[in-house]
């Protein structure tokens, strides 16, 4: 049986992952974060890795994303990569992801590539004001990714926000559902569930 694919896009720390987590618990669903598909930078020095622009579509392996999603959409398992953000390298062993009745695909560029969009049954875009995204990013990257506040702020100003304006925010035009990332999480969850019901997907 073909799974229902739900795509969630939006700028960094707008609330994509939290929505995906809550939605996955209710449906239930598997979650595939496109952050897994960042390119391996092990050939670069640590200094060059830190200067890498992770906020452009080419920072991810779009061909691998499309290949794995096509397999999952057809009801087949996929071996998906795993990424170490503290060192900016891929971990050696991929992880097997089995398709279930629902699959949630979330990431900055979920709605950027046409081959990916064509596989999605529901396309969601989550947005939030810039100060909110920055505050959330500071908290997350310091706690989870071993970054310093100064490095997070520098990256946000130099690449994260400018690249979001250039590449991520325009993909709102492809969304079936636009959500406010500062709204209560339960409200966002119910909006997605309602959209699935309206389309006969749940």
Taking every pair of C-alpha atoms in the chain, what is the biggest distance, in angstroms? 50
Domain edges within the chain = 4-198
Check if the beta carbon of residue 158 is closer than 8 Å to that of residue 53: no
User: From first to last of its 202 residues, what are the pLDDT tens digits of the chain?
Assistant: 789 999 999 999 999 999 999 999 999 999 999 999 999 999 999 888 878 899 999 999 999 999 999 999 999 999 999 999 888 899 999 999 998 999 999 999 999 999 999 999 999 999 999 999 999 999 998 888 778 899 889 989 999 999 999 999 999 999 999 999 999 999 999 999 999 999 999 8
In angstroms, rounded to a whole number, what is the distance separating the alpha carbons of residues 168 and 92? 29
If one looks up domain 4-198 in CATH, what number appears?
3.40.50.300
CA angle 200, 174, 127 (to 5 degrees): 95
Of all helices (H) and strands (E), which one includes residue 64?
A: helix 62-73
pLDDT at 49: 87
Strand, helix or coil at 30?
A: strand
* Pick from 40, 153, 50: nearest CA to 91: 40
In angstroms, rounded to a whole number, what is the distance separating the alpha carbons of residues 172 and 8? 11
pLDDT at 53: 92
In angstroms, rounded to a whole number, what is the distance separating the alpha carbons of residues 12 and 55? 9
pLDDT at 88: 87
* Pick from 81, 88, 91, 94: nearest CA to 41: 88
In angstroms, rounded to a whole number, what is the distance separating the alpha carbons of residues 192 and 178? 10
Convert 77-100 into a string of H (helix), E (strand) and C (coil): CEEECCEECCCCEECCCCEEECCC
Check if the beta carbon of residue 65 is closer than 8 Å to that of residue 116: yes
Give this prediction's pTM: 0.93
């Amino acid at each position: 049986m073909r799974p229902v694919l739900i795509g969630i896009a939006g700028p960094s720390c707008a609330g994509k992952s939290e929505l995906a987590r809550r939605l996955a618990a209710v449906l239930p669903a598997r979650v595939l974060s496109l952050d897994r598909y960042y390119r391996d930078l092990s050939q670069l020095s640590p200094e060059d890795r830190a200067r890498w622009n992770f906020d452009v579509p080419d920072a991810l392996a779009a061909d691998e994303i499309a290949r794995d999603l096509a397999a999952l959409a057809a009801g087949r398992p996929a071996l998906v990569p795993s990424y170490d953000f503290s060192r900016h390298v891929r971990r050696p062993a991929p992880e097997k992801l089995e398709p279930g009745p629902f699959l949630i695909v979330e990431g900055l560029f979920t709605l950027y590539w046409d081959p990916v969009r064509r596989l999605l049954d529901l396309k969601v875009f989550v947005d939030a004001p810039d100060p909110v995204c920055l505050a959330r990013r500071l908290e997350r990257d310091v706690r989870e990714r071993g970054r310093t506040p100064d490095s997070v702020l520098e990256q946000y100003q130099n690449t994260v926000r400018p690249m979001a304006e250039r590449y991520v925010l325009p993909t709102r035009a492809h969304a079936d559902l636009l959500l406010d990332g500062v709204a209560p999480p339960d409200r966002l969850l119910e909006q997605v569930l309602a959209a699935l019901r309206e389309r006969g997907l749940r």
